Amino acid sequence: MPLTISRTRVSTAAVTHSVSERFSNSGPEFVEIGAPGCKVPIISYESETGAWVAGSLTGTSMAAPLVSFAAALALSERVDAGWTPSDVKRRLLVSADLRSELLPHIADGRVLNIIKAVSVYDDVLELKGGGFRFGRLRLLKGGREELREEDELRLTCSGELRRVRVREVFKIVPRFRNIRGDLVTKIYYRSPGAALFANEECDRLTDLTLAIQNPEGGEDAYTPDEVEDVVRREAS
């Protein structure tokens, strides 16, 4: 089902925990994001009895409202920043979980993640095996040299060198298994030639450490192999 955000379309599919539902839109060229759409809990009013009854419904008509809800929440956090519909759409896509098993059905296997979508003021680091870290992320080259926002992250993508400023990075997935079954680094970043963001599959990151604040006020450091996903905060 196409969801429209003030003329900006977000093509949405219904998904379960692991697969795109057969009744849903399908195909990475058609679907940009998935959201839960199978046996979604609802409360309906029965006019015959005058009672509200708990139940569930299935369909893309259940998935699209969740994406609309996330879009409204994200926009409410950035209403003073003059966000456009394209800004909202980009945030939904770059904050999505990427599931390799959904690659035949949804572009990059994206599935809506509301927590990451609305966390616009902190970097979000999702750990392998579960758990989130929120705060200011530092990228350390060789475990010691900090890459500042204006510094370049150098990656080899499709055999070519890419120089991406740290401040332009939206998303890093250090261990993404692509449609060919290869483990790659997936990166989304701002690029003048891309409408929403550039999307690259790059060689694995081996000399980068990701350090982020912990609840005690200190800092925890992780290797790329320990990290599931990185979503950068929105620029102020």
Q: What is the mean pLDDT of each run of 10 residues along the chain (236 residues)?
A: 50 64 70 85 88 85 88 92 92 96 92 96 94 94 90 93 95 96 96 92 92 87 96 86
Long-range contacts of 5-9 (CB under 8 A, 24+ apart): 5/68, 5/71, 5/85, 5/88, 5/89, 6/85, 7/85, 8/84, 8/85, 8/86, 8/88, 8/89
The whole-model pTM stands at 0.86
- Encode pLDDT of 65-115 as tens digits: 899 999 999 999 998 888 999 999 999 999 999 999 999 989 999 999 999
Domains in the chain: ranges and CATH: 1-120 (3.40.50.200), 122-236 (no CATH)
d(CA 87, CA 176): 25
